[in-house]
Structure formats: C-alpha cells, structure tokens
C-alpha cells in the first residue's frame, strides 16, 4: 500500500509538471507570435486597411444619413425611419461608399487570410519550425499558440473599429445609442470576430497541407471568392434546374420550392450566413429570413423585433459559423500533429 500511495503521488506530481510545462510553453509561443505580428510589416498593412475602412465607413454613414434627412425635410411625402439611428451608422452608406457592414464583410476575411496563410509552411521552408519542435515544448502548443495569437489580434481590431465608428459617428452626428442598440452592436462584433476567425482557420488549414505560402494564399483567396461570388450563382443554377420557373405556370408551382432550395444552398456559404445574420441584428425591422406567404402576412402587425426574437432567428447562423471554425481548425490541428516535421 505504501508503494501504491507513493506511485499515485508520483503520478500526480508528474501530471502537474506536464500541465505546468504545457501552460508555460503555450504562453511563450503565444507571446512570441503576438510580438511577431505587432512588429512585422504585415501588421502595418492591416492597420492601414482598418483605419481607411473606419474613416470611409464613418464618412459614408454620416453623409448618407444627412442626405436622407435633408430629402425627408424637403419632401413631406418622403418617409425616413428615425428608429435605431445609432445602428444606421453601421448599416448606412453614402457618396458611393459602402457601409461598415459591407466593408467588414469584404475586408474581414482578408485580415484572417493574411494572418494565417503562411503560419506553418513559411516556418517549414525557413527551417525555424525544426528548431522550434526541438525545444522542450509540446507540438500542439505551436499551432494552438499561433491560432490564439492571430485570433486575439483579430478581436482587438474588430472591436477597435466598432468602437471607433460608434464614437466618431456620435461626435459627427450627435446620435446617442440606446441600451438595446449597444447590445446588438456587441453581439454583431462578436459574430464578426467568429466570422473572421473562420477564415483564419481556413488559411491555417491550407498552410498546413501545402508546401509553399503562395499556394496556400491563392487557395484561400479562391475559396473566399467561391463563397462570396460564385456560390450564389451556383445555387441559382441548381435551384432553377431542380425547380424551373421559366413560365408563369412553373413560377406558380415551383416558385416557393425554387426560393427555398436557393436559400438553403446559399446558407452553405459562411459569407451568406454572416451577411444574413448581420442584417437581422443591425436592422430590427427584419422580421423573417425565410419565405413568407401571403396568408402569413394577413393580420401581421408592423413593428420591430425585440432583441430576443432577433437572436432566435440567427442562432443557427452563429452555431453554424462556430462549427465551421472548429472543424477547420481541428483538421489543421490533426494534420499538423501527424506531419513529420524533422524530415522536411
């Protein structure tokens, strides 16, 4: 019994030491990656993009809202919805400048791709990864530390731009946020963070399974272009092939089925999931995201959805993006753990 107790104590001490080593190695790698990001030239490029996006979105929102208010004052028949004005700072564009939501949907994936497309294969080709794994650290701490450092930088940038747009919009227009608007904005920024981290995980996946950084960058950009542009075209072609709507009779019979299939196929795209969820969060007037029949419209009251009801509409989108991000990182994690690094 004495030997058993001593063995258990030794095993507990060994397990504690392993956890301590894992924690310290992960912390050291996380700090190293953060320092590399902040001191690198790539960070300056990303920072310039983020600052330009913030300035452009604020200018477009202020000019767009000001123009709409002038039109409403000049023409009594013109209608202008003055509800949730603070959220309009993020969803309104003007003077040929897209809104903040449109800009972040376009630039956000590129930030994730820039931070992750050469995270593994560049170190393989330069030989630094061989020296890194020769240190007394766990191998999984390398890829976890890289992902955590890049996702931290993404989180800081996204929340910084959101706060900057809100503060600049308030100073320029005097629009004050309500409590519900602030909560909606917070949830939207969290959703945006997950969306950009998905593209970071995809870029790291290509970096693990490709040998050259150029190949992983082109593969990541090609995937983004497919989901952002060609996925909607492909969904429309497949929906029209399954349920044609070329004649008036076919439109009456297949119109709803065509729309449902087209919508479901588009929702396989992370870009569409993010855009649809963002429009529901930042525009409380959106009351439905699926097809609505005329019978459902009869007797419906006009108004805005409360925050809880909006979240009920988009929680599958959030779960879907989280699952896609987890799946992409898991595949890259398993692939990295199974690779023979010393032989490269």
Answer with the residue of higher pLDDT: 122 or 235. Answer: 235
Question: Does residue 10 belong to any structural domain of this protein?
Answer: no
Question: Does residue 45 belong to any structural domain of this protein?
Answer: yes
Question: Does residue 77 belong to any structural domain of this protein?
Answer: yes
In this predicted structure, what is the pLDDT of residue 82? 62
**Domain residues for 33?**
26-338
Looking at the 3D structure of the chain, how many domains does it have? Answer: 1
In this predicted structure, what is the pLDDT of residue 255? 81
In this predicted structure, what is the pLDDT of residue 200? 94
In this predicted structure, what is the pLDDT of residue 17? 57
In this predicted structure, what is the pLDDT of residue 147? 93
Which of these ranges, 58-62, 72-76, 251-255, 307-311, has the smallest mean pLDDT?
72-76
In this predicted structure, what is the pLDDT of residue 72? 58
Q: Which two tokens stand for residue 118?
A: 């050469």
Q: Please say whether the beta carbons of 87 and 185 come within 8 A.
A: yes
Q: Please say whether the beta carbons of 283 and 91 come within 8 A.
A: yes
CA distance 177 to 181: 6
Report residue 97: phi and psi, to 5°.
-110, 125
The overall average pLDDT reported for the chain is 82
Other residues' Cβ atoms within 10 Å of the Cβ of residue 251: 14
Helix/strand/coil for 94: strand
Question: Does residue 6 belong to any structural domain of this protein?
Answer: no
In this predicted structure, what is the pLDDT of residue 6? 45
- The answer on pLDDT for 120 being more than 60 is yes
Q: Which two tokens stand for residue 342?
A: 């010393």
Answer with the residue of higher pLDDT: 123 or 327. Answer: 327
CA distance 141 to 30: 9
pLDDT digits (tens, 9 = 90+) for 123-176: 887 777 777 777 777 788 888 999 999 999 999 999 999 998 888 888 887 788
Helix/strand/coil for 293: coil
Report residue 92: phi and psi, to 5°.
-110, 135
- Give mean pLDDT, residues 20-28: 77
Question: Does residue 188 belong to any structural domain of this protein?
Answer: yes
Q: Please say whether the beta carbons of 113 and 225 come within 8 A.
A: no
Helix/strand/coil for 77: coil
In this predicted structure, what is the pLDDT of residue 223? 92
Three-point CA angle 204, 209, 214, nearest 5°: 70
Contacts of 100 (CB under 8 A, 6+ apart): 53, 57, 58, 61, 89, 90, 91, 161, 165
Question: Does residue 11 belong to any structural domain of this protein?
Answer: no
Helix/strand/coil for 311: helix
How many residues are there in the chain? 344
In this predicted structure, what is the pLDDT of residue 80? 55
pLDDT-derived band at 343 (thresholds 50, 70, 90) equals very low
In this predicted structure, what is the pLDDT of residue 123? 81
Whose tokens are 């497919």? That residue is 226
Residues 217-248 as b/e (b if ≥16 CB within 10 A, e otherwise) read bebbbebbeebbeebbeebeeebbeebebeee
- The answer on pLDDT for 49 being more than 90 is no
Question: Does residue 16 belong to any structural domain of this protein?
Answer: no
Q: Which two tokens stand for residue 9?
A: 């104590």
Q: Please say whether the beta carbons of 214 and 337 come within 8 A.
A: no
pLDDT digits (tens, 9 = 90+) for 69-107: 666 566 655 555 667 788 888 888 777 788 888 888 888
Question: Does residue 15 belong to any structural domain of this protein?
Answer: no
pLDDT digits (tens, 9 = 90+) for 261-287: 888 888 888 998 898 898 888 888 777
Whose tokens are 């320092």? That residue is 35
């Amino acid at each position: 019994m004495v030997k058993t107790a001593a063995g258990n104590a030794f095993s507990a001490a060994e397990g504690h030491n392993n956890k301590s080593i894992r924690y310290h190695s992960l912390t050291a790698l996380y700090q190293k990656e953060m320092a590399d990001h902040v001191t690198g030239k790539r960070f300056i490029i990303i920072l310039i993009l983020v600052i330009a996006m913030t300035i452009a979105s604020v200018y477009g929102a202020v000019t767009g809202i000001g123009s709409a208010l002038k039109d409403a004052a000049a023409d009594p028949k013109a209608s202008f919805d003055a509800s949730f004005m603070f959220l309009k700072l993020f969803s309104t564009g003007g003077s040929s400048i897209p809104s903040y939501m449109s800009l972040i949907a376009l630039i956000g994936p590129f930030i994730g791709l820039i931070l992750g497309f050469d995270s593994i294969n560049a170190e393989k080709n330069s030989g630094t990864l061989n020296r890194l794994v020769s240190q007394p650290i766990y191998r999984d701490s390398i890829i976890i530390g890289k992902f955590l450092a890049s996702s931290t930088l993404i989180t800081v940038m996204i929340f910084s731009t959101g706060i900057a747009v809100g503060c600049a919009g308030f100073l320029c227009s005097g629009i004050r946020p309500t409590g519900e608007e602030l909560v909606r904005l917070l949830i939207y920024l969290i959703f945006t963070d997950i969306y950009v981290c998905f593209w970071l995980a995809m870029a790291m996946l290509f970096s693990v399974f490709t040998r050259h950084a150029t190949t992983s960058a082109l593969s990541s950009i090609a995937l983004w272009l497919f989901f952002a542009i060609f996925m909607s075209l492909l969904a429309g072609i497949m929906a029209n092939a399954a349920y044609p709507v070329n004649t008036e009779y076919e439109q009456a019979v297949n119109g709803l089925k065509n729309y449902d299939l087209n919508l479901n196929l588009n929702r396989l795209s992370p870009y569409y999931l993010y855009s649809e969820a963002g429009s529901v969060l930042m525009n409380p007037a959106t009351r439905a995201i699926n097809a609505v029949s005329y019978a459902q419209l009869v007797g419906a009251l006009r108004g805005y959805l409360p925050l809880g009801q909006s979240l009920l509409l988009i929680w599958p989108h959030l779960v879907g993006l989280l699952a896609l991000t987890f799946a992409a990182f898991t595949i890259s994690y398993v692939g990295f753990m199974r690779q023979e690094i010393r032989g490269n």
